[in-house]
Amino acid sequence: MAAEGPQASRGDISNLIDLRIVLLGNRDAWRSSAGNTILGREEFDPDVRTLQCVKRQGEVAGRQVTVVDTPGWKDYSECYYKDSPNLLKQEIVLSVTLCPPGPHAFLLVIHENMTFTEAERKATSNHLSLLGHGAWKHSLVLFIQETPAEEKAFEVKGKMLQQLVENCGKRYHVLNIKNRDKMQVTELLEKIDKMVATNSNSHYEMDRQRLEEVEEKRRKDKEKGTRTAISNRLLTGTSSPLSELRVVLLGFKDAGKSSSGNTILGREEFQPGQRSAVCVKRQGDVAGRQVTVVEAPGWWSHYSKEWSPEMTKRAIQLSPGLCGQGPHVFLLITRADILFTEAQRISARQHLELLSERVWRYTILLFTHGDWLGDTPIEQHIESEGDALKWLTEKCGNRYHVLNNHNSTDGRQATELLEKIEDMVVKYISHL
318 three-class SS: helix
Does the structure show a pLDDT above 90 at 285? Answer: yes
pLDDT digit string, tens, across residues 298-352: 999 989 999 999 999 999 999 999 998 899 999 999 999 999 999 999 999 999 9
pLDDT digit string, tens, across residues 84-111: 899 999 999 999 999 999 999 999 999 9
Domain boundaries, the chain: 18-206, 242-430
How many angstroms from the chain centroid is the CA of residue 303? 22
DSSP calls for 394-413: HHTTT-EEE--GGGTT-HHH
Q: Can you give the pLDDT at residue 227?
A: 85
Task: Identify the CATH homologous superfamily for domain 242-430.
Answer: P-loop containing nucleotide triphosphate hydrolases (3.40.50.300)
Average pLDDT score over the chain:
89
Q: Can you give the pLDDT at residue 50?
A: 82
Topology alike, domains 18-206 and 242-430: yes
Nearest residue to 298 (alpha-carbon basis) of 318, 322, 281, 315: 315
Nearest residue to 239 (alpha-carbon basis) of 426, 77, 375: 426
Q: Can you give the pLDDT at residue 15?
A: 74
C-beta separation of 160 from 116 below 8 A: yes
SS3 track for 50-68: CCCCEEEEEEECCEEEEEE
Asked, as a colleague might, if the bond just before 241 is cis with ω within 30 of 0, I would say no
Does the structure show a pLDDT above 80 at 38? Answer: yes
CA distance 242 to 284: 14
Nearest residue to 22 (alpha-carbon basis) of 215, 217, 203, 218: 203
C-beta separation of 275 from 292 below 8 A: no
Q: What is the DSSP letter of 111?
A: E
Which pLDDT band, with edges at 50, 70 and 90, does 410 fall under?
confident
Does the structure show a pLDDT above 60 at 373? Answer: yes
DSSP calls for 354-410: GG-GGGGGGEEEEEE-HHHHTTS-HHHHHHHH-HHHHHHHHHTTT-EEE--GGGTT-
| Sign for the pseudo-dihedral over CA of 299, 300, 304, 307 | negative
When the candidates are 3.30.365.10, 3.40.718.10, 3.20.20.70, 3.40.50.300, the CATH number that belongs to 18-206 is 3.40.50.300
Q: Can you give the pLDDT at residue 99?
A: 95
For 37-41, 233-237, 345-349, 360-364, which range has the lowest pLDDT when averaged over its residues? 233-237
Nearest residue to 224 (alpha-carbon basis) of 386, 375, 417: 386
C-beta separation of 333 from 257 below 8 A: yes
Whole-number Cα distances in Å, 267 to 55, 261, 371, 406: 36, 9, 19, 12
Sheet of 54-60: strand order equals 54-60, 63-69, 18-24, 105-111, 139-145, 172-176
The strand ranges marked E within 152-288 are 172-176, 244-251, 280-286
pTM of structure: 0.84
